[in-house]
């Protein structure tokens, strides 16, 4: 039964091989930018995000991202967040999502990634490595 | 010597200031997940609702819901809603949906038209009756027919992402050559 459920879930997710983006900006309050290939780009709702992006929010700002596997991540104000690695290819059974919260706050509801592979998702903060086995959580780095 | 002392004080000061707090929240259905924190040689498990663990020194406490929502107000209130998923069924060897799916298609169009909808994923599939290569094309025809219906209803092409996987990812696995209604489908995700 579990097998069928997972198959249904896979079906619902686009196996986004055509584009190599990791997700997109769904919500934005105030100002946020991304450091990509040594360039700072202001972010708007609908913009795609990619592996190796460094996302920064300003004071009184926050941002909400939908990743390809439907993992939802939002960042509070004055936050620095790095997408170190994002691989989601369920057809090839490859999943890995490694990110770093340098400072600030983050909330997350996990998506298909950690359902398919509980080892796939990891968030680094200072010297700690936080293994996410699923569902809803928040992290702050002061 | 004095410089080393100053450096030591600064280091201690920064270590004392540097805190990594991890808080576990219950899901909509009150299920609670699990988080494992590894720091140097220690592993700490977080598995209780509103449990906060300081990842560096390992201090654990249970917060109230209010304390958590106050601390993470900005990020929690900016979490996007989960994308909506829909499934449309198709007639045998055809890119026409079955009459039963008309209502779902209407809902999809309504949802897709909303300003809050940024992207729409459309993924075509077939069952395993017929040749694999033929089915791959059939799944594309199915996905394209839905994409065209959305565009006819004013939804911009740039928002639509069409994918097709033929016989792959069946809802119910069958042997090759077997016709299975439930697998003849297009899945639509509204993001």
Tens of pLDDT, residue by residue over B44-68, are 999 999 999 999 989 999 999 999 9
Statement: residue B29 has pLDDT above 90:
no
* Residue-averaged pLDDT of chain A: 89
When CB atoms are compared, the residue of A63, A129, A132 closest to B78 is: A63
Q: Tell me, what's the pLDDT at B103?
A: 97
Which tokens sit at B3?
A: 């410089």
Query: How many Cβ atoms from other residues are within 10 Å of residue B79's Cβ?
Result: 22
Sequence-ordered strand ranges (E) for B99-152: 120-124
The share of chain B scoring above pLDDT 90, in percent, equals 80
Query: How many Cβ atoms from other residues are within 10 Å of residue B55's Cβ?
Result: 25
Residue holding tokens 């699923």? A134
B34 touches chain A (CB under 8 A): yes
Q: Considering only CA atoms, which of A135, A1, A9, A13 is closest in space to residue A72?
A: A135
From first CA to last CA, the distance across chain B in angstroms is 60
Q: Tell me, what's the pLDDT at B8?
A: 54
Which tokens sit at A12?
A: 């619902």
Statement: residue B17 has pLDDT above 90:
no
Q: How many domains is chain A partitioned into structurally?
A: 1
Domain that holds residue A136: 2-141
CB-side neighbour CA atoms (13 Å) of A86 = 23
Q: Where are the domains of chain B?
A: 9-77, 84-190
Average pLDDT over residues B111-124: 95
C-alpha A76, offset from chain centre: 14
Put simply, the answer to whether B34 touches A110 (Cβ < 8 Å) is no
Give the mutation candidate from A4, A89, A135 for the B interface (greatest B CB count, under 10 A).
A135
When CB atoms are compared, the residue of B71, B78, B85 closest to A140 is: B71
1.10.8.420, 3.60.40.10, 2.60.120.380, 3.30.1330.60: CATH of B84-190: 3.30.1330.60
Which of A7-21, B6-20, B135-149 has the least mean pLDDT? A7-21
Sequence-ordered strand ranges (E) for chain A: 23-29, 32-36, 39-42, 48-49, 54-57, 62-67, 72-75, 80-89, 94-109, 121-125, 128-132, 136-141
**Which residues of B fall within a CB distance of 8 Å from A109?**
27, 79, 82
């Amino acid at each position: 039964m579990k097998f069928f459920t997972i198959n249904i879930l896979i079906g619902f997710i686009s196996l986004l091989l055509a584009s190599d983006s990791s997700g997109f900006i769904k919500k934005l309050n105030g100002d946020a930018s991304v450091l990509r290939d040594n360039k700072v780009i202001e972010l708007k709702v609908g913009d795609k995000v990619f592996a190796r992006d460094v996302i920064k929010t300003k004071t009184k700002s926050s941002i909400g991202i939908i990743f390809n596997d439907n993992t939802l991540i939002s960042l509070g104000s004055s936050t620095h967040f790095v997408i170190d690695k994002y691989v989601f290819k369920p057809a090839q059974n490859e999943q890995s999502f490694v990110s770093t919260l340098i400072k600030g706050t983050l909330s997350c509801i996990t998506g298909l990634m950690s359902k398919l592979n509980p080892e796939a998702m990891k968030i680094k903060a200072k010297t700690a490595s936080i293994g996410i086995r699923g569902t809803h959580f928040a992290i702050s780095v002061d | 010597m004095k410089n080393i002392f100053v450096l030591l004080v600064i280091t201690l000061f920064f270590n004392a200031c540097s805190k990594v707090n991890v808080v576990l929240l219950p899901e909509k259905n009150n299920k609670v997940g699990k988080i494992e924190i590894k720091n140097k040689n220690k592993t700490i498990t977080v598995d209780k609702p509103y449990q906060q663990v300081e990842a560096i020194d390992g201090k654990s406490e249970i917060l109230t819901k209010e304390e958590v929502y106050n601390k993470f107000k900005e990020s929690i209130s900016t979490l996007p809603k989960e994308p909506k998923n829909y499934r449309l069924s198709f007639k045998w060897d055809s890119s026409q949906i079955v009459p039963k799916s008309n209502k779902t298609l209407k809902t999809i169009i309504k949802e897709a038209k909303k300003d809050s909808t940024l992207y729409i994923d459309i993924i075509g599939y077939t069952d395993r009756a017929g040749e694999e290569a033929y089915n791959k094309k059939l799944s594309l025809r199915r996905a394209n027919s839905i994409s065209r219906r959305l565009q006819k209803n004013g939804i911009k092409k740039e928002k639509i992402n069409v994918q097709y996987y033929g016989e792959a990812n069946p809802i119910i696995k069958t042997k090759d050559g077997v016709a299975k209604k439930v697998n003849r489908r297009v899945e639509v995700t509204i993001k």
